[in-house]
Amino acid sequence: MSRRLLLGAPVVGVLGALLSGCGEDEPVTTSDGPRDGRVDYGNDPSQFGELYLPGGRPRGVVVVIHGGFWQGQYDRTLGQPLATSLQAAGWAAWNLEYRRLGNGGGTPETFDDVSAGIDKLAELDLDLGTVVALGHSAGGHLAAWAAGRGRDGGWPDRVPVTAVVSQAGVLDLRAAQADGLGGGAVEAFLGHAPTAADAPYDPQQQLPLEVPVWCVHGRDDDIVPPSQSAAYVEAAREAGGEAELVEVDGDHFVVIDPESDAWTKTLEILDTLG
């Protein structure tokens, strides 16, 4: 079954297979993409990032956070083509892996990993004046979350995120649950149906952020509807935040196709930042 089909499949059946076969899941131990090095930020096999460095001084750092409804069968290989493109465009790309459902992830472990993975940048001898969190689907959720992770004494943020690009992001967990996105993925990820008490994990409940957010979303996305981005941008602006909706032609995956016009528009957004 393809990644595209799996991403649209009900999460209950997928999670059952994941959890029952957890012992057979091969840990990710090596990077197989063009890179300047794998760097671990923890002891778990999924706690690492792949650093892609351009020739010359980087324009800034882009943290690439892959999607897949937080499920273990999706991994950092989804982000490698984007990291390669960012590297060619003069950015340092930090392609982040993290624990997911079925391999030790969930709430709060996945959040712990994303926060620790971003903070690891402080040890990599990089200029951290510009740190953009860029994430697709569930990765868009984590990218937006990461920009506000330090508020209210939440997670450490010794490396603050300075801007967010959400690519078809799951930005409102309560709406995502109500709409049945991922066949119950949100409830599986949180361990319960989302409520107002889940504000520390829900970008829609963390508004406004103190950094700009761009929401790039395909008009024909039938996996994460464009309403997720549109409603987030509207609420962010009403709360006094800086947010922009960038609608593009295509489906859920066009935004992570480095040959697409959608990705060209994303690179143009990044051009305004570094």
Cα separation, 98 vs 190, whole angstroms: 16
Tell me: pLDDT of 40 over 80.
yes
121: tokens are 């940048």
Residue-wise over 106-124: b if at least 16 C-beta within 10 A, else e?
bbebbbbbbbbbbbbbeeb
Q: Which CATH superfamily is domain 29-271 in?
A: Alpha/Beta hydrolase fold, catalytic domain (3.40.50.1820)
Sequence-separated (6 or more) residues with CB below 8 Å from residue 274:
59, 60, 91, 130, 132
Mean pLDDT of 40-53: 96
**Contact between 262 and 221 (Cβ < 8 Å):** no
Is residue 268 very low, low, confident or very high in pLDDT (cuts 50, 70, 90)?
very high
**Contact between 182 and 11 (Cβ < 8 Å):** yes
Residue spans of the domains in the chain: they are 29-271
10: tokens are 């009900």
Mean pLDDT of the chain: 89
pLDDT at position 116, please? 98
Mean pLDDT of 76-97: 97
3-state secondary structure of 269: helix
Mean pLDDT of 176-180: 97
Residue-wise over 29-47: b if at least 16 C-beta within 10 A, else e?
eebeeebeebbebeebbbb
Tell me: pLDDT of 2 over 90.
no
Tell me: pLDDT of 18 over 70.
no
pLDDT at position 216, please? 98
Instruction: State pLDDT tens for residues 215-239.
Output: 999 999 999 999 999 999 999 999 9
Is residue 82 very low, low, confident or very high in pLDDT (cuts 50, 70, 90)?
very high
Mean pLDDT of 58-75: 97
264: tokens are 């060209």
Length of the chain: 274
Is residue 142 very low, low, confident or very high in pLDDT (cuts 50, 70, 90)?
very high
pLDDT at position 36, please? 63
Tell me: pLDDT of 66 over 60.
yes
Tell me: pLDDT of 107 over 80.
yes
